[in-house]
Amino acid sequence: MKSKLWSLLFWMVIAAAFIGPGTVTTAVAAGAGYGYSLLWALVFSIFACIILQESAARITIASELTLGEAIKDRFKSQRVALSIGVAIFLGCAAYEAGNILGAISGVALIFTGVQPAIFTLIIVGASTLVLWSGKTKTVANIMGFVVAIMGVAFLISGLSTPINGADLLKGALVPSLPEGSILITLGLVGTTIVPYNIFMGSGLAKGQSLSFMRFGLVLAILIGGLISTAILLAGASLVGEFSFENLAATLTKNNGVWMSYTFAIGLFAAGFTSSITAPLAAAITLKSVAKSEKGWEANGLKYRLTWGSVMLTGLVFGMTGVKPIPVIILAQAANGLILPVIAIFLWLICNNVTYLKVHRNGLIMNLAMLITVFVASVLGFINVFKAGYATVGSGFAFEGLNQMAILTLSVLVTFLAGWKVMKERLQ
């Protein structure tokens, strides 16, 4: 029993990583704009997240190779693996300031007149101390504790709102797309299935057993999904235009000021945990694609320089309040392409007898990964199109020719990937 509890605590790092300010913002906006109607997208994204994270961790346990190492070995390409690693590093660096500012937004809901620069220094300092220890177990224990606080805070906030049970079940089980909801629906999936989490999960799985990993990982992601659901429920109670301040005011009006403080604590915890996991994931990812392990130990120079660079980026932009728009656009495009690429690599390797042996995918798992690859492709192409439109100063809409092109490309990518998987199983 003790080992299972430690497994859950250890894998709560994944929940900490995907429940950041972006997830909170998207879930609140989905609830505020569409009530419970998009809850099914959150349910789907949680199961897709479990599929991809379990696959990456299973590869590591069965083959004793991290995902980056398996990609290098299977496709004989250091360049491809390194390109993925660099793109993920850019994404972690670009979004780190948002993680820090998200944590500050939580503090600002409690303490008015907050100086962002001061709290940026405090958050970066605390995050650096956690990562400097170099001990994965220490980081996991801290993340598990903070996620527990975040979970309780968001669950109280969400469950304090009036809930219609029938509408809740319908929203969770019956897919629907209200007018204008496509992008926010895909956003719910995109903020849950994060490319760098897949590499981080693979790196963390080394030395574990399949049963130990599956228990902790699956339960941690399900708990993360429950927290995200509570955030959406809180958003559904919002009156007026979406903002964290308006939501806090609504919660205060319905339940008293203590409820807005509870939500604020959850928002702070979401930003704080993500400000730790983003640099950690960048370091683990680059370690997995590096040519040599020298200097990439948890307390090694290259490892610390990697997470330190991500932290420094967040510090600079957090202190100045400047949003690195060009870098964010580049990161969106790069990570948009990476998600389907990683999903396809996972699908191929999970059907390769050399790496997985008796742990290869079965029919149900392959069908689940086919659907996941298609959705990942749609998300990926949307991010690429959005980045393209942004570079010319134009807005993107998922409709008309854009929609047709993205769906056609996604079907083509999924078909070609499925064909390669069939060949992989025959080798």
Residues present in the chain in total: 427
Phi, psi for 303 (deg, rounded to 5): -60, -50
Q: What pLDDT score was predicted for residue 225? A: 92
Is pLDDT at 396 greater than 80 in this prediction? yes
Average of pLDDT values for 417-423?
A: 92
Q: What pLDDT score was predicted for residue 220? A: 92
Residues 262 and 177: their CA atoms lie apart, in Å, by 31
Average of pLDDT values for 154-181?
A: 85
Residues 332 and 335: their CA atoms lie apart, in Å, by 5
Average of pLDDT values for 48-73?
A: 91
104: tokens are 């500050």
Is pLDDT at 316 greater than 90 in this prediction? no
Q: What is the pLDDT of residues 331-377, one digit of tens each?
A: 656 666 788 889 999 999 999 888 888 888 889 999 999 999 998 89
Average of pLDDT values for 422-427?
A: 83
Residues 380 and 399: their CA atoms lie apart, in Å, by 16
* Cβ–Cβ < 8 Å for 373, 344: yes
* Cβ–Cβ < 8 Å for 130, 136: no
Query: Residue 329: which pLDDT band, with cuts at 50, 70 and 90?
Result: low
CB atoms within 10 A of CB 419: 10
Helix axes 301-320, 116-132, angle to 10 degrees: 170
Q: What is the pLDDT of residues 270-309, one digit of tens each?
A: 888 889 989 998 998 898 888 777 888 878 889 999 999 9
129: tokens are 């101390």
Is pLDDT at 324 greater than 60 in this prediction? no
For the chain, the average pLDDT equals 85
Residues 406 and 398: their CA atoms lie apart, in Å, by 9
Residues 275 and 20: their CA atoms lie apart, in Å, by 8
Rg of the chain's alpha carbons, rounded to an integer?
21
* Cβ–Cβ < 8 Å for 382, 332: no
Residues 379 and 394: their CA atoms lie apart, in Å, by 19
Q: Dihedral of CA 304/334/351/186: which sign?
A: positive
Q: Which residue has the tokens 């797309």?
A: 177
Average of pLDDT values for 215-242?
A: 88
Closest by Cα among 18, 87, 28 to 274:
18
Residues 338 and 354: their CA atoms lie apart, in Å, by 24
Average of pLDDT values for 113-122?
A: 81
Lowest-confidence pick of 100-104, 158-162, 196-200: 158-162
What domains, with CATH codes, occur in the chain? 2-323 (1.20.1740.10)
Q: What is the pLDDT of residues 71-82, one digit of tens each?
A: 888 887 778 888
DSSP letter at 357 equals G
Query: Residue 409: which pLDDT band, with cuts at 50, 70 and 90?
Result: very high
Q: What pLDDT score was predicted for residue 353? A: 85
Its pTM stands at 0.88
414: tokens are 């999924």
